[in-house]
Structure 1
Amino acid sequence: MLFSSPVFIFGFLPIVLLLLFTFFKSSKSLQKYLLIFASLFFYGWWNSNYVALILFSVLANFIFGYLVLTQKNPSSFKWMLAGVGFNLILLGYYKYFDFFIENLNFLFSSNFSLMHIILPLGISFFTFQQIAYLVDAWKGEIKKENHKFGDYMLFVTFFPQLIAGPIVHHKEMMPQFAKNLKLNIDYFLAGCSLFTIGLFKKLIIADSLGPIANNVFARADAGETLLAVESAIGVLAYTFQLYFDFSGYSDMALGLGLMMGIRLPINFNSPYKATSIIDFWRRWHMTLSRFLRDYLYIPLGGNIKGEARRYVNIMITMLLGGLWHGASWNFVIWGGLHGLMLLFNHAWLNVRKSMQLKGLPKVLAVVITFVAVAMAWTFFRAETFSGALNILKSLINPEMYWVDLDTIKSLLASNKRKIEFTLGIFAIAFIVTFFLPPASPYHMRYVEEMRPKRNSFKPDIWHMILFIVLWYIIVRKAGVSNEFLYFQF
């Protein structure tokens, strides 16, 4: 069930909200189990067979968590390692088993059959979330009396963030789940507005640019020779498609949480405005960056064991972060490229500090970072290594810098719409990306607990127009929305 589908917007969501704030409003226990049931129903809509898998994962991790919390070291540490190992084995089987067999066959000319395992939705996200919980339990950050099955199950399965994040911490969610959820008009209106913006990003911008990117990358993977301008349009289309697809999902997830009075952590903060690769990773998939930092980079030694070891740790973290995104060497290469760019970025900062040099002008720094990120996305999107190279070769080959207007017009119209519409979408994407404030931080600042009431969310004429656009979008795009790209990871 997609957030952008009519069945979710007009069926599932209204029913859940109605039950939550009417029939179930007087009991936090009833609210909790309503949300658990709704979340499992939401998860099973795609493939009911995998409901048993997530239940098994939750139950096993709850038991591991109990053993970690009730045992003293070294037994507690051993149970934590066992729980982490269990999660990695489960993730490895479903996500990487066929990838392992493919590479085994390639290296040893063997002929082992692939199992063609269907990747369960959200397994990468709820696996990391539970690993973090076990590690935090071992560190003593979770009290034994707070380790309750209902709270834990809702923590893992809460449907707004179940499929593609954000990857939440127990300390962010458990205190909220422990309270009786009441309809807060400020939260609800801010949530509706944020959900609407995310829906627009997904349906109108991301899904409109997808066919252009698909056209170019499919031809590149097939070995077709591309003009430089075709590759540039394809890379730019995917760069914005992924941005608005994931940004749209993140906005919708946070918006759904706010409708129910739940504050999820911000996961997306205008990453293409970043002035460096370091800054990019502070803005893109922020909760994944936090997880990789806290549960991989720092345990490896972080930056406390010398500069050389720091660079090694960064590289290991980014390579594994790339592999987390998918069972393909292209993802590993993408992670490695970002690792190399981070190393260069840190080295450049050291040179600047030692020589007391000024940094690049902000606009130039943003442009350089954006181009570097866009080029790296080529490996992220291409199905094959040769396809990514085809794209990059055409961009650096002077012989391909001639323009075939008919080819370009055909490419821009590949989504069966007028060229003017496609150019308009590119223009909107550019303006929203670089000149408008990020939607999630803008809305979430109205619902911070410590802010005075005068900053409550007050919809104006622009919000009314936005909701009218929502209805227009649903009527025009009903039933034609594509899956979110991060569903694949």
Structure 2
Amino acid sequence: MVPLGFVTVVGLNVFGLIGTLTGADSIRTFSSLSLVAAPFYFLSIAAVIADVATRRIALPRPLDYLTYLTMPFKLLAGPLEQPGLIAQVKAWQPRLSWSRLAVAWPWAALGLTMKFVIGNKLTPAGTLGATDPVASILTAAIFELRFYFDFAGYSFLGYAGALAFGFKITQNFAHPFFAPNVVLFWRRWHMSLGRFLARYLLEPNVGKIRGRGARMLFTSAIFFVSAMWHGGTMNYAFWGLFHATCYFLWISRLKRRSWPRAVGVPTMILFFIAGRYLAIEASPHRLLEKLGNLVSPAAWSADLAALGTRVLDVIGPQGPALLSALAFFVVEYHSVRYYGPSRPYHSFRRPVVAMLLLIIALFFGSTGGGLLYARL
């Protein structure tokens, strides 16, 4: 029963469903939220079956089970919440609670600002076709920002809704860009997916593998499962290889060394951009052309000769949104430094700051944009 979630992911990809349902093949395939949610429903069902079979949970009542599967907060915020949430559903009592609302609304203000004030105004898709080194790197960097602000933004909106109704679900993000290494990054980015894979694929199987090196290799290879979740295309195969390699190098070699910040910070920035660089390009031929230009002296020479033009062509009207993202990171750095990742986004959740964010979102938010993570 243990590999059931993995089998579901691979099976969906064999038939091309995840690539279609999540938009990895084309943005035009995004037709409705319920259709995009189908893979999540499959994995949620598989998780409940596995937990009941291994007696982690009792067989849930049909209504509790359906509520767990279709809960809108779970779908929006994660959405791979583990079946332990069923116990909360079973014990839930409908009532108005001002204390719940007091805890929830700052998360909603944060999510609205991230998603609608910053995320929706970052539009790097317009330069995705650029193959020169400077433009392609900047496009990947802005895409990484877009994914963070968009995905974390609507995750926090779902998280706030769950808190308001008395449910505790996975927060899903906890300052991932301030993680000092790749292992901690993946513990802070899309946390529900990481915990899901750890529970249903890693933990039941890693103890059966002999040899420390083999166990580390197996752990790293789970990134291929994550890659298949996003789409069974060449760019995601490269993405999976890249992250698996980085993860393996860290846990097997690099974590034993002490790295100065002057080395660690630029390396992590390069890690963020490189991973997104591979993930966003669905055209195999164009991806290979981009990778070739990265090591081409002639391509770099042409770019550096017109550096200002190249940069402005990519940034375009995104300048104000990029400045807003920079200001956000300054406050986020303050929050991490003074409150730590154990009190995530605390500086943003203070009443005065949260009220300011809410006002900014109401006056400067941009509607539309969809749910980027569900489409790319």
Q: What TM bracket, shorter-length normalisation? A: 0.7 to 0.9
Whole-Å Cα distance in 1 between the matches of residues 322 and 5 of structure 2?
A: 50
- How many residue pairs match? The answer is 360
Match 1:376 to one of 275, 278, 287: 275
Larger Rg over CA atoms: 1
Answer whether contact 2:18 2:230 (CA < 8 A) is retained. no
- Taking a change above 3 Å as real, the CA distance of residues 390 and 206 of structure 1, as seen in their structure-2 partners, is farther
Answer whether contact 2:76 2:155 (CA < 8 A) is retained. no
Instruction: Give TM-score scaled by structure 2 length.
Output: 0.83
Whole-Å Cα distance in 1 between the matches of residues 293 and 130 of structure 2?
A: 13
Is it true that 1:266 corresponds to 2:171 in the alignment?
Answer: yes
Deviation string for 1:259-294 (max 9, x for gaps)?
212111221111111111111111111111111112
- Taking a change above 3 Å as real, the CA distance of residues 272 and 90 of structure 1, as seen in their structure-2 partners, is closer
Whole-Å Cα distance in 2 between the matches of residues 214 and 349 of structure 1?
A: 35
Whole-Å Cα distance in 2 between the matches of residues 168 and 482 of structure 1?
A: 25
Corresponding residue number in structure 2 for 1:216: 127
Is it true that 1:485 corresponds to 2:376 in the alignment?
Answer: no
Whole-Å Cα distance in 2 between the matches of residues 429 and 258 of structure 1?
A: 24
Is it true that 1:244 corresponds to 2:149 in the alignment?
Answer: yes
Letter in 2 for 1:486: Y
Corresponding residue number in structure 2 for 1:108: none
Answer whether contact 2:82 2:196 (CA < 8 A) is retained. no
Identity %: 21
Whole-Å Cα distance in 1 between the matches of residues 149 and 265 of structure 2?
A: 18
Shift of 1:423: 4.8
Whole-Å Cα distance in 1 between the matches of residues 77 and 352 of structure 2?
A: 32
How well do the aligned residues superpose, as a CA RMSD in angstroms? Answer: 3.4
Question: What secondary structure, in the 3-state scheme, does the structure 2 residue paired with 1:282 have?
Answer: helix
Question: What secondary structure, in the 3-state scheme, does the structure 2 residue paired with 1:313 have?
Answer: helix
Is it true that 1:326 corresponds to 2:231 in the alignment?
Answer: yes
Corresponding residue number in structure 2 for 1:123: 38
- Taking a change above 3 Å as real, the CA distance of residues 171 and 82 of structure 1, as seen in their structure-2 partners, is closer
Corresponding residue number in structure 1 for 2:25: none
Q: How does 1:99-178 map to 2 (within 5 A)?
A: 120-144=35-59, 147-163=60-76, 165-178=78-91
Shift of 1:482: 0.5
Answer whether contact 1:239 1:377 (CA < 8 A) is retained. yes
Corresponding residue number in structure 2 for 1:408: 311
Shift of 1:238: 0.9
Shift of 1:386: 3.2
Whole-Å Cα distance in 2 between the matches of residues 443 and 311 of structure 1?
A: 29
Whole-Å Cα distance in 1 between the matches of residues 323 and 157 of structure 2?
A: 24
Shift of 1:193: 1.6
Whole-Å Cα distance in 1 between the matches of residues 196 and 362 of structure 2?
A: 37
Shift of 1:137: 0.7
Instruction: Give TM-score scaled by structure 1 length.
Output: 0.65
Is it true that 1:336 corresponds to 2:238 in the alignment?
Answer: no
Shift of 1:429: 5.0
Shift of 1:486: 1.7
Is it true that 1:464 corresponds to 2:363 in the alignment?
Answer: no
Letter in 2 for 1:461: V
Is it true that 1:194 corresponds to 2:107 in the alignment?
Answer: yes
Q: How does 1:263-342 map to 2 (within 5 A)?
A: 263-302=168-207, 305-342=210-247
Shift of 1:231: 2.5
Letter in 1 for 2:144: T
Deviation string for 1:166-194 (max 9, x for gaps)?
31122234234422132222221221221
Structure with more contact order per residue of length (Cα contacts < 8 Å, sep ≥ 6): 2
Letter in 1 for 2:168: R
Answer whether contact 1:231 1:395 (CA < 8 A) is retained. no
Whole-Å Cα distance in 2 between the matches of residues 196 and 273 of structure 1?
A: 21
Is it true that 1:205 corresponds to 2:118 in the alignment?
Answer: yes
Q: Which runs of 5 or more structure 2 residues have no equivalent in the other structure?
A: 22-28
Question: What secondary structure, in the 3-state scheme, does the structure 2 residue paired with 1:170 have?
Answer: coil
- Taking a change above 3 Å as real, the CA distance of residues 459 and 317 of structure 1, as seen in their structure-2 partners, is closer
Q: Which runs of 5 or more structure 1 residues have no equivalent in the other structure?
A: 1-76, 100-115, 221-225, 353-357, 446-457
